Amino acid sequence: MHGLKFSSMQENHWLPQSGFQPGDGGYYCQHLNDPEQHPHKLHKVDLYLPVKPL
């Protein structure tokens, strides 16, 4: 997911509904596959976000 699109989604939709807000620091992602080996060239990633309670 594009970083800007993800940032908008997390801050405006998902996070407020989860009872959290963005924490200090940035997020990072861990790549789980080689997209060249995926049949549709998709990336599989785990995203790690710093959060704090509302």
pLDDT attached to residue 36: 96
pLDDT attached to residue 1: 47
Counted residue by residue, the chain has a size of 54
CA angle 50, 1, 15 (to 5 degrees): 35
pLDDT higher at 1 or 28? 28
pLDDT tens-digit map of 2-53 = 555 666 666 667 777 888 888 898 888 899 999 999 999 988 888 888 889 9
Q: What are phi and psi of 28, to 5 degrees?
A: -140, 160
pLDDT attached to residue 17: 82
- Indicate yes or no: pTM above 0.85: no
